[in-house]
Structure 1
Amino acid sequence: MTSRALHELEGRLGRFGPDAGRKKLALVRALARARFDTPSALQRFHECLCFLRAYADDAELRTVVARELARFARRADTRRHRARLETSGIAGTDLCFRFYHPTAEWLARRFPRALAIDWDAFDAAERIHVLLPVLLPWAETQTLDEARSPRAALAAAKGPHEGDGAFLARRIAALPCAPDLARALYDELDPPLVLRAGPDTPSRTLAACEPPAWFDQRADLHRERPVLERAVREPPRSIQAVSLARGKQLVALARDVMVVRARDLDAFMYADPRDVRWIDCGDGLAFAALGVAPPQRLLLEAVYGFLTLKNGVPIGYVLASALWNSCEVAYNVFETFRGGEAAWIYGRVLAMLQALFGADTFTVYPYQLGHENEEGLRSGAWWFYQKLGFRPRERETLALMRRELRRIARDPRHRSALPVLRRLARHNVYWTATSAREDVIGRFPSERLGAAVTRAMARRYGAERERGVLELSDELARRLGARGWRRLPTDELEAWRRWAPLLALVPDLERWSSSERAGVVALLRAKGGRRESDFVRAFDGHARLRRALCRLAGVRSSE
């Protein structure tokens, strides 16, 4: 009975219309009283509940599903299968992963008792002996004994109310050195961690936020493939900045969503709650747009992370880099929600990015297409984007694509072999609403700018790079006529200093018009300002600076 009911519920998830919600509700209530003999069956029921929370037919079904998810960790079968459901993200189960330091430290501060080292999986444990003298006050080094095991040494050093994983992450964060150096030290150590399940530890089961309004899914899902030319011209219903409190809530949710899937995403870990916007796309679909805090921003592109939400339930995420009126897009739909509205939502993603950044060209990088990514390769990711209208720019890849298309035309059952897909996935693919150009992300060779800066700094300053940055910052202020630049806010001042070595290579900067020079000052301040998308708009609107950087990189400018 239980097996049949579960199979029937899975088959009805994507069906909507008269009586569809009532039938799902009856099945959910029946299965809520059942006990599952295997962890896989229990997990299947869990995934049904997660899907129904996002795509509920009506308020009654939504309420019952939310109640069942809230009690999921207390189910007898969840407790019985707990060990075999490790790292499933289900409430009441432990999470194991080698988190990068920002995530590990964040977890350590939120759940100090729950974060421990998985010693059985820790290959570099002996290096703890080398680190401990640096991590502890000098007076404690007299008691260090290398004969003691690393586990015992940390157990003796940590506090009574914290796990050894939390202690290690926080002590490395406290080192008197640049934060980047501390992070590199921790990441090289690469300790495997366990987050012990507790009443408030994150889970996929409970990950959600309350949306401004609920949407009852009465009609069929949007399974059609969008026509991107039309889709990008249909802007979101609204883009609204949120309060600082709401921003903190959404940043925490985005981080939790990645933690429970054993993933790290810098754009979420370094997200700035002051730069969070809620983007409403209708039909219960929304994106939480999270900007990166100024100290972690890239020199050129602006990076934003987007949490994809359906009725407040995270169903995926987007990572976008924006500049040059273009965006590089990484699009991910969580497994529970795949096979539904993925293509339609992707059209909404591009429309959102066009509205935020003014992008007219979009690119997908090789990993997303399956390069060194077996899951993406086998899923047919390359053809997903090709069918949406994305195309490679390399002649060899274009020729290979056309050969495959001819084979498909002759035999519609033809499927590209894995070796062919690997060749196709080696290079970016692009979609543009205008004509193809070279000054876009994926084509513009930013590394040439970095190499030019290195040559100039090496020639002029050698090992005295700090003196070089200070002198070039002063020089930039003189060339731009920017008096009082030293009184800029801290983050804006740092952006100024970061850009100074690059702008020193622009030969005629001081001869630009006053409005052009003022525009450079404004975009540098925006780079260190609250909202990095303001920098993107300012840079993309500065035709002369764009031409100057294209000349430095040896690229033809579209301006």
Structure 2
Amino acid sequence: MFERRLAGRRLMDALAAVASRYEPAARKEKLRLLDALAGRRVGRPGSLARLHEALCFLQAYPDDPEVLERVDRALAEFPRRVARLRAVARRRLHDSGIANTTLDYPFGFPMARWLATRFPHDCEVAWARFVDTERLDETLSLLATAGEGDAFSEGGMGWRAWLGVAKGGRPMTDLQLLLEVFERTGLPEETRDWLYESLALPVVWRPRGVGASRTLARVPPARVFFHADGLERRVASLVDALARPLPPLRRAPRALAEALIEAAHVAMATRQRELHAFSYPNPDDVLLVDVDRGVRLAFVGILPGFRLPLEGYYAFLALKNGIPVAYGGGWELFGTLDFAVNVFASFRQGESAFLATELLRAYRRIFGMRTIVVDRYQLGHESAEALRSGAFYFYHRLGFRPRDPAVLRVLEAEQSKIAADRSYRSPIPILKRLAGAEVYLALSGGHREPEKRLRATDVSGLIARLIARDFGGDRGVAVRESTARARRELGVTGWTAWPTAERRAFAQLSLVAALIGDLETWPSVERRRLVRVFRAKGRGSERTYANLLDSHRWLRRSLEALVT
């Protein structure tokens, strides 16, 4: 028996080792290993997890139809493999996102609501892992009616009994009831969601079935790209790549947009992650770019009421042959894009540089940025995952460069060591120092000193000081009076006929207008253009807003003058 288990582990190790090789001999070896593993029982959870990751990689990066057919069959069989494990072994796959395992995470309100709606019988509050019961008592006492308040005080029935009573005999989980209570609070959505998230309620979920795990996560592709000629791992000049004709961009039909948002939810939830744009997606603002090598890029805009205050923003989900392989986002303000990409661990042996290049080419099409910035967190500052993946050198190979003198000195020393010994690898303490500052890529017309660029945080600081100085800290008065002033000085007409989302966006951005002392002296055409910018923030497309904002040089120069 031991020899058989050892042989099985060797087969799985061999498959993992050969998965990212694509010469003819490697293809034959993959087929041999896949056939050998097809009927073999795997009882060790670690071995099963390694097999799962190799299969996921090969489904995204198949050699040919024959390899893909075997991989698809093996993944379809995976839920049964997991079900055959002993309970103690299955528990060791907890939080893996593999079909028929379990995971738990304190999801925010939008994701918890999606889980409870989409998988009502497979998720519940993990009460055994919840510790802050006193806070839950206090929160429910605020959300219940005044007459129920004593139920949560000393001697009352307490929150656990109250949950049972509040269901009124309805067949629902504790999670569904709590979500219902929060849904009906009447609080502003942002406040409601923050209050729910502050409880940090762990939700336990058992992902199973098609489209409900990492195992069975494929969105059917129009066609499959095979890798008989190997992977594309060349690192071309990003500046040159972004200067070439850019890929076509199209808006996703509603049904496809919703399917891609669903895929993003599954990809994130099975990895215990969340992203603002995926929590508040706008299905009418999903942009698609189909590029070579079986890659589809879906850029997801945000519902108007949840957008960032000033920047334009699209998150993305990258799919390779229909498999979600990466996610991230791009925040753009006045020609500078803050960029973040996270390739899921299963696929980091693949075509990451090609993927990042195509993502930035698509963002160039969306925003027309002239400078690209990667922040410290993406490089490894306070991110162990980024450090382990060597994120700094990944971006460095793409052409990004630091400008901080201290980081430049560390980089110069490391490059000397690498030149002297090609096997040398920067240790984690050095990678932390390299992640000590942003890195940049300047395109034609880009910022000469991007570290001195106007940032959204600069504007927010100016607004905070304005409210304290001119309105005595009364934010409600500040918004009302700034809105009235902006309407007057910008010549706004037909205000009451505007859609609610546009009025709200205008009111929020009126505080930006309030920073500009000479607004009423601007040429009338520039004031009309500023109205279009503000209204666009509440309309359907973030791209339209960002492009209008970027082209408004009067606003940009006025704000830059305030922070220099």
Under a length normalisation based on structure 2, what TM-score does the superposition of the two structures give?
A: 0.91
Q: CA deviation at 1:132?
A: 2.8
Q: Does the CA-based 8 Å contact 1:328-1:442 persist in structure 2?
A: no
Within a 5 Å distance, the mapping from 1:480-499 to structure 2 comes to: 480-499=490-509
Cα distance 1:154–1:209, how it changes in 2: closer, same or farther (>3 A)?
A: same
Q: Which moved more, 1:37-46 or 1:433-442?
A: 433-442
Answering whether residue 117 of structure 2 is matched by residue 109 of structure 1, we say: yes
Alignment gaps of 5+ in structure 2: 1-6
Within a 5 Å distance, the mapping from 1:368-447 to structure 2 comes to: 368-434=378-444, 437=447, 443-447=453-457
How far, CA to CA, are the matches of 1:419 and 1:23 in structure 2? 39
Amino acid at match of 2:56: C
Q: Which moved more, 1:81-90 or 1:1-10?
A: 1-10
Partner of 1:70: 76
Amino acid at match of 1:189: L
Under a length normalisation based on structure 1, what TM-score does the superposition of the two structures give?
A: 0.92
Q: Which moved more, 1:368-377 or 1:447-456?
A: 447-456
Q: CA deviation at 1:241?
A: 0.9
How far, CA to CA, are the matches of 1:290 and 1:102 in structure 2? 16
Amino acid at match of 1:96: D
Q: CA deviation at 1:32?
A: 2.2
How far, CA to CA, are the matches of 1:412 and 1:439 in structure 2? 33
How far, CA to CA, are the matches of 1:160 and 1:61 in structure 2? 49
Answering whether residue 46 of structure 2 is matched by residue 36 of structure 1, we say: no
Partner of 1:15: 21
Partner of 1:157: 166
Name the SS for the 1:85 alignment partner. coil
Within a 5 Å distance, the mapping from 1:239-278 to structure 2 comes to: 239-278=249-288
Within a 5 Å distance, the mapping from 1:26-425 to structure 2 comes to: 26-75=32-81, 78-80=84-86, 81-138=89-146, 140-141=148-149, 146=154, 150-158=159-167, 160-199=170-209, 202-235=212-245, 237-425=247-435
Deviations 1:102-161 (A, max 9, x none): 212222232333322222321202322223333334555565575556444434434653
Partner of 1:517: 527
How far, CA to CA, are the matches of 1:145 and 1:464 in structure 2? 34
Cα distance 1:394–1:96, how it changes in 2: closer, same or farther (>3 A)?
A: same
Answering whether residue 544 of structure 2 is matched by residue 534 of structure 1, we say: yes
How far, CA to CA, are the matches of 2:209 and 2:250 in structure 1? 33
Deviations 1:159-195 (A, max 9, x none): 6532223322332232122222222222221122211
Q: Which moved more, 1:279-288 or 1:187-196?
A: 187-196
Q: Which moved more, 1:152-161 or 1:202-211?
A: 152-161
Aligned-residue CA RMSD (Å): 2.5
Cα distance 1:546–1:144, how it changes in 2: closer, same or farther (>3 A)?
A: closer
Deviations 1:248-290 (A, max 9, x none): 1111110111000011111211111110122111110121110
How far, CA to CA, are the matches of 1:246 and 1:169 in structure 2? 27
Name the SS for the 1:520 alignment partner. helix
Q: CA deviation at 1:369?
A: 0.9
Partner of 1:557: none
Alignment gaps of 5+ in structure 1: 555-559
How far, CA to CA, are the matches of 2:533 and 2:348 in structure 1? 39
Q: Does the CA-based 8 Å contact 1:36-1:77 persist in structure 2?
A: no
How far, CA to CA, are the matches of 1:407 and 1:28 in structure 2? 41
Partner of 1:548: 558
How far, CA to CA, are the matches of 1:120 and 1:261 in structure 2? 21
Q: Which moved more, 1:108-117 or 1:341-350?
A: 108-117
Q: Does the CA-based 8 Å contact 1:135-1:172 persist in structure 2?
A: yes
**Alignment: residue pair count:** 554
Name the SS for the 2:92 alignment partner. helix
Q: CA deviation at 1:404?
A: 2.8
Cα distance 1:304–1:229, how it changes in 2: closer, same or farther (>3 A)?
A: same
Amino acid at match of 2:19: L
Q: Does the CA-based 8 Å contact 1:523-1:535 persist in structure 2?
A: yes
Cα distance 1:441–1:59, how it changes in 2: closer, same or farther (>3 A)?
A: farther
Amino acid at match of 1:157: A
Aligned mate of 2:472, from 454, 462, 475: 462
How far, CA to CA, are the matches of 2:26 and 2:17 in structure 1? 11
Deviations 1:34-82 (A, max 9, x none): 1002011111221222112111233343344333323321236554343
Q: CA deviation at 1:444?
A: 2.2
